[in-house]
């Protein structure tokens, strides 16, 4: 999705500017065309040479803006060139200028000379961020549908304050940019509530042993990100997952459910509020029949472990579906993946299913990429070649939107 895409990065004057280096480097390595602008304040934290080296292209400053050595005004060229723009870190000063349409440097003039979607990633001290004037400017800017936000998170700030104001991390920025390049900034899921489950479940024999699987939940995080970026409200029911991975779905309501039974209860509880339900979790099929509250001595573990079935979450929610709801499943398969996926689609009365081949390179559990064949109840199918899991999530949502009526 990033190869040959034209991405313009505006860097503001804040210590979080160092995070932009990873963003620019990753984009360039992925084949994107990257251009970087630095405000005067940004140059006090990071040099144009650093960003130029990472972008494989000269970085621009206000000195370039005021030089008459361009065949056209630089801000016009950059504004018309960009497919998407990001401003990170967005300072209180630049935010105020955006809110009131002011333009007194290269960055703000380029914003006004462009029409592409713009991603905003604020960063500042907690007290600065919470000032009424700053919050008023933030709310005003977001009324313009060109602007897409990555609101600051909470944590230890450079001033040693603990609170809101920490700029979004590079993976969040990269995912949001990838989404904007796919959608063009269209929020076509706005007003929709998506209920998504993800991650593997663990069915315990005793406090330290369980039946599980190698699912990391990355596909579900990508599904949540794509939905959030397209304007949806998201509830994410997840198994045991890495906190850093869950942080990438900031903005989703997150509910931990580590076993099939707890996940089943959580999904049933939240189903009535959902427009779409996406079953992306790798839920165990069976559990040990007997659970022991203390750790079993090795000698006491039975040679033949009695097993019992666990709730079939997708099938059960299908029987409780409301008329307007869309149910979307996943089928991780080996060999010929379409027949078993289509059988699952029909048997569980789903609207769409994603068949992905876990026996193909880079397509199994735990990776950052995936490939699939999308199938719907009408018999249509669409292949998605190997790509990022975020790209697959967007292709899935495109498929559902194109092949169903959403009222």
- Boundaries of every domain in the chain: 6-183, 193-402
SS in 3 state form for 295-336?
A: CCCHHHCCCCCCEEECCCHHHHHHHCCCCCCEEEEEEEECCC
Of all residues in the chain, what percent are helix, strand and coil, respectively (each to 5)?
Answer: 35, 25, 40
As beta bridge partners, residue 60 has: 37
Q: Is 183 helix (H, G, I), strand (E, B) or coil?
A: helix
Angle between helices 170-183 and 389-402 (to 10 degrees): 30
Output the pLDDT for position 362: 80
The angle at the Cα of 195, spanning 193 to 196, to the nearest 5 degrees, equals 135
Q: How far apart are the first and last CA of the chain?
A: 30
The token pair at 269 is 């509880």
> Would the pLDDT of 71 be above 80?
no
- 82-138 pLDDT tens trace: 999 999 999 999 999 999 999 999 999 999 999 999 999 999 999 999 999 999 999
- Looking up tokens 């949806």 gives 232
What percent of the chain stands above pLDDT 70?
A: 99
Predicted pLDDT of residue 225: 98
pLDDT in tens, 340-379: 999 999 999 999 999 999 888 887 788 899 999 999 999 9
Give the CATH number of domain 193-402: 3.40.50.10300
| Residue 292: strand, helix, or coil | coil
Distance CA(237)–CA(283), nearest Å, equals 12
Strands (E), 73-192: 84-90, 118-122, 147-149, 153-156, 162-166
Give strand ranges (E) for 108-182.
Answer: 118-122, 147-149, 153-156, 162-166
Quick check: 403 pLDDT over 90? no
Rounded CA gap, 285 and 27, in Å? 40
Question: What does the pLDDT read at residue 159?
Answer: 80
Which active-site residues does the annotation give? 159
What Rg, from alpha-carbon coordinates, does the chain have? 24
User: Across-strand partners of 166?
Assistant: 153
What does the pLDDT read at residue 361?
83
Q: How confident is the model at residue 70 (pLDDT cuts 50, 70, 90)?
A: low
Phi (first) and psi of residue 241, to 5 degrees: -140, 160
Residue pair 83/7 in contact by the 8 Å Cβ criterion: yes
Tens of pLDDT, residue by residue over 1-11, are 799 999 999 99
User: What integer pLDDT is reported at residue 24 of this predicted model?
Assistant: 98
pLDDT digits (tens, 9 = 90+) for 257-271: 999 999 999 999 999
Give residue 320's Cα distance to chain centre.
29
Is the sign of the CA dihedral 137, 80, 73, 7 positive or negative? positive
| Contact by Cβ (8 Å): 182, 391 | yes
**6-183 and 193-402 have identical folds:** yes
Please report which confidence band the pLDDT of residue 399 belongs to, taking 50, 70 and 90 as the band edges.
Answer: very high
Q: So what's the pLDDT on residue 155? A: 82
- In this prediction, residue 406 carries a pLDDT of 41
- 22-36 mean pLDDT: 97
pLDDT in tens, 129-183: 999 999 999 999 999 999 999 999 888 888 878 888 889 999 999 999 999 999 9
Is 50 exceeded by the pLDDT of residue 407? no
pLDDT at 157: 80
Residue 349's alpha-carbon distances to 37, 83, 160, 233, in angstroms, are 51, 40, 53, 24
**CATH architecture for residues 6-183:** 3-Layer(aba) Sandwich (3.40)
If you search the block for the tokens 């409200």, which residue do you land on? 233
Which tokens hold the place of 399?
């498929």
Query: Rounded to the nearest 5 degrees, what angle is found at the Cα of 58, between the Cα atoms of 53 and 62?
Result: 125
Q: Is residue 46's pLDDT more than 80? A: yes
């Amino acid at each position: 999705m990033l190869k040959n895409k034209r991405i313009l990065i505006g860097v503001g004057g804040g210590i979080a500017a160092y995070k932009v280096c990873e963003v620019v480097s990753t984009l360039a390595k992925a084949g994107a065309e990257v251009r970087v602008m630095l405000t005067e304040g940004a140059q006090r934290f990071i040099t144009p040479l650093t960003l130029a080296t990472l972008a494989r292209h000269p970085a621009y400053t206000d000195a370039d803006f005021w030089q008459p050595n361009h065949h056209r005004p630089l801000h016009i060229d950059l504004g018309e060139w960009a497919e998407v723009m990001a401003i990170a870190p967005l300072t209180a000063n630049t935010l105020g200028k955006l809110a009131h349409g002011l333009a007194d440097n290269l960055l703000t003039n380029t914003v006004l000379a462009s029409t592409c979607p713009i991603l905003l990633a604020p960063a500042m001290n907690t007290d600065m961020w919470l000032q009424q004037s700053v919050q008023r400017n933030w709310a005003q800017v977001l009324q313009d549908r060109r602007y897409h936000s990555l609101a600051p998170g909470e944590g230890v700030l450079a001033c040693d304050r603990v609170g809101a104001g920490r700029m979004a991390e590079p993976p969040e920025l990269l995912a949001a940019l990838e989404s904007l390049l796919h959608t063009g900034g269209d929020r076509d899921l706005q007003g929709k509530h998506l209920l998504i489950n993800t991650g593997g479940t663990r069915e315990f024999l005793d406090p330290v042993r369980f039946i599980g699987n190698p699912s990391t939940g990355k596909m579900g995080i990508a599904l949540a990100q794509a939905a959030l970026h397209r304007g949806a409200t998201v509830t994410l029911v997840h198994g045991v997952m890495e906190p850093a991975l869950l942080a990438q779905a900031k903005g989703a309501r997150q509910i931990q459910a580590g076993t099939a039974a707890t996940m089943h209860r959580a999904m049933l509880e939240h189903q009535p509020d959902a427009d779409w339900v996406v079953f992306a979790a790798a839920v165990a099929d069976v559990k040990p029949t007997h659970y022991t509250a203390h750790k079993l001595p090795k000698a006491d573990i039975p040679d033949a472990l009695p097993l019992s079935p666990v709730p079939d979450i997708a099938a059960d929610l299908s029987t409780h579906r409301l008329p307007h709801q869309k149910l979307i499943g996943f089928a991780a398969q080996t060999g010929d993946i379409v027949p078993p996926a289509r059988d699952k689609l029909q048997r569980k009365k789903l609207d769409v299913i994603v068949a992905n081949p876990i026996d193909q390179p880079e397509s199994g559990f735990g990776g950052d990429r995936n490939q699939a064949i999308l199938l719907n109840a009408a018999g249509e199918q669409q292949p998605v070649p190997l790509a990022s899991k975020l790209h697959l999530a967007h292709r899935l949502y495109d498929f559902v939107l194109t092949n169903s009526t959403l009222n």
